[in-house]
Structure formats: C-alpha cells, structure tokens
C-alpha cells in the first residue's frame, strides 16, 4: 500500500521522482523520500508527512543525479517518523532500498542481523531487507575477493529474497554499481516504462504518463536489472524472460484535476462518461444481449454454470451485492458475494460448475488476488471485473471485463462503483439471454441502459441541494443509512463513503432490519438517510421513515422526482431521476457520494487523502 518510483537514464532524476510521487500519493501519504546516486554515494532525502513537504525539503537541500528511487509510504510497521520513512540504507550506506509490502518474518531476521552487528535506525520491516542485501553482498566480496559487480549485486538480492516470507515490491540502489537499479516483485505490483536510453519504474502506470507509452508489467517472482543501456528480466525459478512490451493508452488529462478542487469531485462528475465507456461496444440490439470480448469462456461452458461467486473487498463488495440481485433476477443463477479476505482462508463447498468473478478497481487488491488464486488452484474458472489494464488480477484471471473508467485517484471510490454496477448489469443481461430472459425483456434493458449516462447527468443536478443538506447535518457524528433490495447495497456504500472521508460513524442496513436493533440508536442526534425511490416495496420503506420520525429522528431521503409523499415525511429530500428498480443504485449513489464529499469539506477533512487509508490495498 505504498508507491514506488525509479529511474535510470539521462534526466535529472529528482524532478521525475518527485513528480511521480505526487502522482502516486493516493497509494500512501504518511511519509515520502528519494534516494539518488550522486557522485560516488547514495544520497537520501526523506520526510514524514505529505509529498509536498518532501518537495520543499529537496528544494532547500537539492541533490543531483541521473539514477534514483523514490517512495511514498502507508505505514505497516513503525510510526510515521522521518526515521521510518523510505528509502532505507543497508550496511554502511552501500545499499538503499524502497519497499512495498509486508515481511512476515522480519522480526527473526532482524534479531539475526543484530547479532551480526547491524544497527537498525527504524522500526520498519524494510530496513531488514536493506541490511540483508548489504550482508549478502559483503559475504560474496569476501569469497570472490573482488569489487561488487552487477552480477554480485543481483545474487545478493536473490539470496535475500530466498529468506523473505510475505509480499514485496523492491527497488534497490547500489553505491558501487552506480548505473544500476534492481527491482523485484512478489505480490506487489511494479511496472517498467521503456524509453530511449532510459527506463522508468513505478507501482502503477500513472507516473509514466507523458514520459513513455511502452510498458512492461513485472510478474510475480521476476527480477529486473535496469541500466541506461538495457533491461534484463529473469524469473527466479525459470530463468531469463523475454519482456512483453505493451502500449500505455492513458492520456495525461486523466490524472489532471482540471477545474475541480479535488479528484473525488472530478470523478463523481465523470460518471456519465465512465458509464458510457462501460457500455460502449457491449450492447447488441439485434440479439437483445450484451457482448464481451475478453471472457475467454465459451457459451457452452457458461450454460453449464449453476452457481456464481463474486468476491471483492470494500466498495467493490457493495457493487457485488448489487450484482447478486441482478444475476439472480435476470439470469436465475444462484449467486453469492464473498469477502475476499474471508474466502481466501475458508474452504466452502464449491462444485465444478461454479464460476468465480473477482471484482476490483485496482486489480492489485491483495485479498482479492489471493482468493482468486485459491479458487483457480481448485479448478474453478476465474474471471475478473477490473479497471486497471495490465494489473495482476487482470493478467492472472482466465478472462474478464474492463471497466474503462480511467484512473481513479481519489481514495474513496466513486466512478469505479457505478462502472462496476453497470458491467454487472451487462453481465446479468448476457447470462440471462443465454437462459430465461426473453428477447423483448432484453431489448427493454438495453434501451434503459443506453439512457443511463443522461440520467446520471440529471442526478448530478442535485449538487447544490446536497450542499445545503450537508451544511445542515455536518456537525452530527452518527448516521443510519437505510434501503431495501437493490438499494440496500447503496445504503452500505453511502455509509462507507461517509466513514472513509468524513470520519463520521455511519451504519448501513436493510430498512426493514431497523426494528431488529438499530432503531435503538435513533434520537434527535442521529439522522437517518433513507434511499426510497419508487418501487414495489416503497410503502414499506415509507413506514420505516414514519417510525424514525416518531422517535424524533431526522430523516433525509433520496426519492424520485415529484414524490410528494416522501417529501411530506422527510425533513430533507433530494430528488433523482425515476428509473427501473435494478438501475436505481446508479442514480441513488450520486447524492450519497456528494453528501460525503461536502460533509468532509465542512469538517475540515482531506477529501482525496483520508487518514489511515490508501487507494490500493496491496498488503493483507
């Protein structure tokens, strides 16, 4: 859950490293640092706090060089201090490394290194790796009675990796091989940018945009040696690897704020476009179905599937809950949604006709990846719904569906959620038309889906009204979010958004479950947010609203345009377009996203970089 950047070439490395860390700050922002080959030594500049503080420190204390590595941290071991910031030196400064991941056996390795005389200056697991590499390099120099070479440095890295248990993405500088960066990955992503007489390295592609369009995604257990004159990749068990160079198709505008004050607001307002992108080329009106190009599973195989398991974490799990309702209603396939963190350690009965879908924005979520690998190991077809092209889950799944939502920089996911729900609706249509869904029903769904970008545009017009409501309620410290059927997952997602960026306690429930415990929380200090658009059981939810009002609880309602009954009961109401029940999560999520955004601003919170959170959870 950290960001790594690296460079070898002819540019002034500090500028690239700092710009790259700014772009990666959503992955971790407790502290940041860079290490640069400057003359005959490795010079480190690092600071606790945001990348901006590091930039000012480097401006006041400049360091020049053409080769370097950088890191922005999300703490796993040790407090947020200058000493615990990366990069870390190994030995007496002959090695410097940055690391993303968790080393599970670091404590025993640390004790052994201390017995050998190594002095630790931090509480991190990373410093263990740095000292181990320095130790193995020194041992080789004694045996060979020679100066360090690229080959001996590579052996030191491999010998160290042999001792590590856990996950890592590593990037290493060597004082005595000043034109070389060595990187390795096991469970933590690294991507290499290929230029002319230069190479870039990063945890994801965002720092590479504008510098190169050619990238190589490093696979697990691969180690790469980067020098201005070339790149060599080897798998640690199978040997030399011929790199597969892919084209990076993002444009720099995708990661620029434009006229928006925050990425979260920008990404909320991008949703008409991202939903349109998720639909583009996937609607077959002639056959009244959806079309997918990358499932890599035949229609005959899909017709034999008798169970679907959707596995995900966080917001993606909420999208999966909507997907469960969609798949069971339209495709009539029994569907379960599993927390990936639980599924990876469980052994549930799953027959040979179970299809597993991993849902993830980043494609690097550690628990989701581990759950998918476990299901794959047991022979189940594993597909992914993913946003990041070339990510580990996208590459390791048997097939899948890309969201095409563009980079999502804000830590609190917004556009990815609605894109995931859109893709799951397409999937339900696709599987439904293979089974029980009629041609006219398929045509109706396609017509309604095509109208959704415009409906989302309409929903976004609630922005000013939501701002007024947020101003009224931003001082409250507890909220209930309540919905039924398709809108129950929306209630969960709305509560999560408020918790994530406003640090306000909120709970989501099915509205009918309120009477089974949560109603005890209702008083004049606990507003209830009801998602109550028109539908078959709307009268039931309205009754729940009346119960809250009877107990002096404030009621905020999301309702369909012109719904006077809801407006009469609620203290505050925000209207969204009237759409079919199965599409209501798309329009109802919008005001909840905006509400959390404005409450966070009014409470003085950092909207894009909420405390304790990182965008891509690549550690367990």
| CA–CA separation, 188 and 219 (whole Å) | 9
Cα separation, 322 vs 10, in Å, equals: 50
615 flagged as catalytic = yes
Can you tell me which residue has the tokens 């201390």? 114
Q: Let me know whether 491 and 591 are in one domain.
A: yes
Q: Looking at the structure, tell me whether residues 271 and 193 fall in a common domain.
A: no
pLDDT at 616: 59
- The predicted pLDDT at position 154 comes to 92
The residue-averaged pLDDT of 435-462 equals 95
CATH number of the domain that residue 528 is part of: 3.40.50.10490
Q: Are residues 296 and 434 in the same domain?
A: yes
On whether both 354 and 416 belong to a single domain, the answer is yes
In a domain, 246, yes or no: yes
Region 117-122: what's the mean pLDDT? Answer: 91
What pLDDT, on the 0 to 100 scale, is given for residue 194? 93
Of 529 and 249, the one with more pLDDT: 529
Residue 584 lies in a domain: yes
pLDDT value of residue 531: 93
In a domain, 428, yes or no: yes
For residue 542, what pLDDT band results from cuts at 50, 70 and 90? confident
- Domain of 273 in residue numbering reads as 257-450
Which residue among 234, 254, 274 closes a domain?
A: 254
584: nearest Cα among 499, 495, 488: 488
Q: How crowded is residue 57: how many other Cβ atoms within 10 Å of its Cβ? A: 18
Least confident of 149-153, 388-392, 493-497, 603-607: 388-392
Structure tokens at 15: 């500028």
The Cα 448–Cα 583 span in angstroms is 8
Instruction: Verify whether residue 560 is a known catalytic residue.
Output: no
Is 486 found in the same domain as 574? yes
Alpha-helical runs (H) found in 280-382: 299-304, 314-326, 340-343, 366-377
Last residue of a domain, one of 450, 481, 511: 450
Check whether 521 has a pLDDT greater than 90: no
CA-closest candidate to residue 64, choices 15, 18, 21, 22: 15
- pLDDT at residue 460, as a whole number: 97
Q: How many residues does the chain have?
A: 620
Residue 252's pLDDT is 46
For residue 614, being part of any structural domain is answered with no
Domain with residue 57: its CATH number is: 3.60.20.10
The tens digit of pLDDT for each residue in 145-203 reads: 778 889 999 999 999 999 998 888 899 999 999 999 999 998 788 999 999 999 999 98
User: Looking at per-residue confidence, does 144 or 81 come out higher?
Assistant: 81
Higher pLDDT among residues 556 and 616, named by residue: 556
Is residue 253 over pLDDT 60?
no
1, pLDDT greater than 60: no
- Burial of 480-498, coded b for 16+ CB within 10 Å and e otherwise, reads bbbbbbbbbbbbbbbbbbb
Q: Based on the fold, state whether residues 250 and 262 are members of the same structural domain.
A: no
Alpha helices in 460-528 (DSSP H): 463-473, 487-502
Residue 239 maps to a domain? yes
Choosing from 2, 375, 462, 605, which is the catalytic residue? Answer: 2
Q: Which residues contact 132 (CB under 8 A, 6 or more apart)?
A: 90, 109, 113, 160, 163
Question: Is the domain of 511 the same as that of 556?
Answer: yes
User: How many domains are contained in the chain?
Assistant: 3
Claim to verify: residue 40 and residue 180 sit in the same structural domain: yes
For residues 80 and 429, the model is more confident at: 429
Residue 580 binned pLDDT confidence (cut-offs 50, 70, 90)? very high
Residue 617 lies in a domain: no
Query: What pLDDT does residue 350 have?
Result: 85
pLDDT tens sequence across 310-347? 999 999 999 999 999 999 999 999 999 999 999 888 88
Three-state secondary-structure class, residue 8: strand
Task: Please check whether residues 223 and 273 belong to one and the same domain.
Answer: no
Of the three residues 217, 234, 254, the one that is the final residue of a domain is 254
Same domain, yes or no: 515 and 551? yes
- The CA distance from 376 to 452, in Å, is 35
DSSP 55-118: HHHHHHS----SEEEEEEE--SSS-SSTTTSSPEEETTTTEEEEEEEEETTHHHHHHHHHHTTP
The reply to whether 97 and 60 lie within a common domain is: yes
Residue 280 lies in a domain: yes
Per-residue pLDDT, averaged over 509-519, amounts to 82
Whether residues 560 and 549 share a domain: the answer is: yes
- Which H or E run includes 10? none
Model confidence pLDDT, tens digit, residues 213-239: 899 988 888 999 999 999 999 998 888
Instruction: Let me know: does 533 contact 487? Beta carbons within 8 Å.
Output: yes
Residue 290 within a domain = yes
Q: Are 526 and 482 in contact (CB under 8 A)?
A: no
What's the rounded mean pLDDT across residues 570-598? 95
- For the cut 80, the answer to whether the pLDDT of residue 304 exceeds it is yes
């Amino acid at each position: 859950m950290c960001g790594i950047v690296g460079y070898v070439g002819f540019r002034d490395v500090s500028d690239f490293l700092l710009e790259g860390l700014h772009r990666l700050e959503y992955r971790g922002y407790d502290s940041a640092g860079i290490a640069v080959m400057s003359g005959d030594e490795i010079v480190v500049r690092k600071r606790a706090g945001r990348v901006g503080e590091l930039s000012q420190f480097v401006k006041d204390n400049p360091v020049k060089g053409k080769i370097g590595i950088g890191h922005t941290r999300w703490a796993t071991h040790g407090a947020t201090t200058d000493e615990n910031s990366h990069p870390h030196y190994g030995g007496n400064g002959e090695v410097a490394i940055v690391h993303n991941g968790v080393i599970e056996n670091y404590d025993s390795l640390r004790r052994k290194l201390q017995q050998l005389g190594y002095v630790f200056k931090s509480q991190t697991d990373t410093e263990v790796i740095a000292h181990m590499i320095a130790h193995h390099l020194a041992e080789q120099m004694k045996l060979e009675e020679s100066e360090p070479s690229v080959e001996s440095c590579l052996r030191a890295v491999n010998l160290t990796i042999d001792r590590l248990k856990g996950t890592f993405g590593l990037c290493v500088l060597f004082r005595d091989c000043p034109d070389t960066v060595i990187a390795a990955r096991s469970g933590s992503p690294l991507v290499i940018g290929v230029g002319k007489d230069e190479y870039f390295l990063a945890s994801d592609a965002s720092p590479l945009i504008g510098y190169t369009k050619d990238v190589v995604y490093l696979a697990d257990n691969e180690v790469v040696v980067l020098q201005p004159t070339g790149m060599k990749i080897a798998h640690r068990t199978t040997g030399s690897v011929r790199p597969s160079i892919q084209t990076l198709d993002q444009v720099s505008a995708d990661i620029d704020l434009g006229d928006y004050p925050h990425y979260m607001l920008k990404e909320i307002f991008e949703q008409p476009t991202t939903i349109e992108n998720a639909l583009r080329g996937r609607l077959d009106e002639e056959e009244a179905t959806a079309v997918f190009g990358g499932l890599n599973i035949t229609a005959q195989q899909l017709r034999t599937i008798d169970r679907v398991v959707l596995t995900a974490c966080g917001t993606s799990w909420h999208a999966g809950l909507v997907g469960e309702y969609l798949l069971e209603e339209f495709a009539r396939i029994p569907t379960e949604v599993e927390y990936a963190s639980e599924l990876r350690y469980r052994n549930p009965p799953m027959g040979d006709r179970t299809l597993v879908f991993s849902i993830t924005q980043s494609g690097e979520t550690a628990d989701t990846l581990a759950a998918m690998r476990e299901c794959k190991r047991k022979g189940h077809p594993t597909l992914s719904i993913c946003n990041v092209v070339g990510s580990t889950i996208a590459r390791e799944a048997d097939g899948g569906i890309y969201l095409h939502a563009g980079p999502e920089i804000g830590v609190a996911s917004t556009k990815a959620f609605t894109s995931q729900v859109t893709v799951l609706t397409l999937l339900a249509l696709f599987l439904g038309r293979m089974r029980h869904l009629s041609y006219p029903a398929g045509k109706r769904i396609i017509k309604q889906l095509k109208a959704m970008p415009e409906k989302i545009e309409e929903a976004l017009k609630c922005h000013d009204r939501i701002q007024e409501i947020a101003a009224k309620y931003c001082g409250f410290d507890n909220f209930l979010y309540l919905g039924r059927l398709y809108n129950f997952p929306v209630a969960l997602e709305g509560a999560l958004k408020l918790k994530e960026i406003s640090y306000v306690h909120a709970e989501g429930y099915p509205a009918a479950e309120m009477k089974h415990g949560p109603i005890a929380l209702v008083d004049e200090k606990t507003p209830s947010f009801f998602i109550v658009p028109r539908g078959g059981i709307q009268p039931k939810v309205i009754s729940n609203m009346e119960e809250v009002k009877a107990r002096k609880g404030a009621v905020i309602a999301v309702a369909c345009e012109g719904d006077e009954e809801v407006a009469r009961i609620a203290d505050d109401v925000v209207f969204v377009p009237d759409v079919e029940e199965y599409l209501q999560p798309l329009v109802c999520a919008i005001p909840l996203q905006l509400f959390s955004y404005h409450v966070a601003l009014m409470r003085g919170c950092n909207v894009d970089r909420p405390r304790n959170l990182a965008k891509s959870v690549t550690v367990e």
